[in-house]
Copies of this chain bind each other. A is one copy, B any other.
């Protein structure tokens, strides 16, 4: 059994990790921590787990005293880096769900996060945890930087086109729409029901941090740097991201060719489904699937790609468990029993 701890379990990512790991036949959830609610039971914070998961919440420091194989950090960016540093000489694997080690270098981080990075050396150790691009590296890594939710959908939607050098590198637009859980469990005006319900808006125009994460990963697939226009929007839904992606082929192509490109690219990747019709968010809700649809518009010579995920699963906790499976040499799909919940 893999002995696992979840650090920072009061948020949605934390509770989602517990939901998924609970059903993993090879995982034993040894410890769940929370600074703000320590001493309380996990189900006092997340009552859906009543009588199911009744762990007493520990202080994060307890992790250092326990025997563990893997620690999931479900912490805000800027906080996570200190924990990774503190765990430097431990033996367990770390899967960090924050943004602290996703980028290529501290300087890039500081540019886009407006924050000094306190553990630069972590960047050398960290592997970007998108299994569809970095499966082998993740298998070798003891520190996985779990991807952001928007980047997961955008990169999975764009990788086949970029790797095949099919599209104009400067003509990539990602118009993304996310459910509100992406904004976290904290009560703030942004997450007030009446600001979200029956409403819709764009935010973070031109400057959202996930832009650089998308660009860096795509640039890794291409001879020249990739530039992306990324615009996030806030949907009145709990879970789910749909990215509508516009690109331009730089040579003659066809719907059939592009479709084959995607099918081949993801042939060995069980969580990407190439769909024949545009996916809706509920098709993936609660599951680790990324549903991708691609079409070519010969009237405008543009490719339109749609990529849908559950931001808390493939965009966070599910991808983390997928990464753990890789680290521990298990089947990538091991333990994933939660089918999409629709409706």
Interface residues of A (CB under 8 A from B): 12, 15, 19, 22-23, 46-52, 170, 173, 175, 177, 180-181, 185, 187-189, 191-203, 205-206, 227, 229, 231, 233, 235-240, 242, 244, 246, 273, 275, 277-287, 291, 295, 297, 299-300, 302, 304, 306, 337-343
Q: A180-B193, A206-B299, A278-B202 are in contact. Are A343 and B229 (CB under 8 A)?
A: no
Contact A244 B199 (CB under 8 A): no
User: Which of B177, B244, B342 contacts A46 (CB under 8 A)?
Assistant: B342
If A194-B191, A196-B193, A200-B280 touch, does A239 touch B275 (CB 8 Å cutoff)? no
**Cβ contact within 8 Å between A238 and B200:** no
A-B residue pairs, 3 tightest by C-beta = A194-B343, A201-B280, A48-B340
A47 and B202 in contact, given A187-B188, A238-B194, A343-B12 (Cβ under 8 angstroms):
no
Docked-complex contact B194 and A181, CB < 8 angstroms: yes
Contact A229 B192 (CB under 8 A): no
Query: For the complex, what is the distance from the CA of A141 to the CA of B304, rounded to whole Å?
Result: 40
How many copies of this chain are found per oligomer? 4
Interface pair A197/B238, CB less than 8 Å apart: yes
Alpha-carbon separation in the docked complex, A96 to B297 (Å): 32
Q: Given contact pairs A193-B195, A196-B197, A236-B237, enumerate 15 new A-B contacts (beta carbons under 8 Å).
A: A12-B343, A47-B283, A48-B283, A48-B287, A50-B275, A193-B236, A193-B238, A194-B238, A198-B237, A205-B278, A205-B295, A206-B297, A206-B299, A227-B299, A231-B244
Chain B residue numbers with a CB within 8 Å of A201 are: 242, 278-281
Q: Name the contact of A19 in the complex, choosing from B46, B48, B177, B339 (C-beta under 8 A).
A: B339
Contact A187–B192 (Cβ < 8 Å): yes
Q: List 9 A-B contacts (CB under 8 A).
A: A46-B342, A48-B341, A177-B177, A185-B194, A197-B197, A202-B278, A229-B246, A229-B300, A236-B237
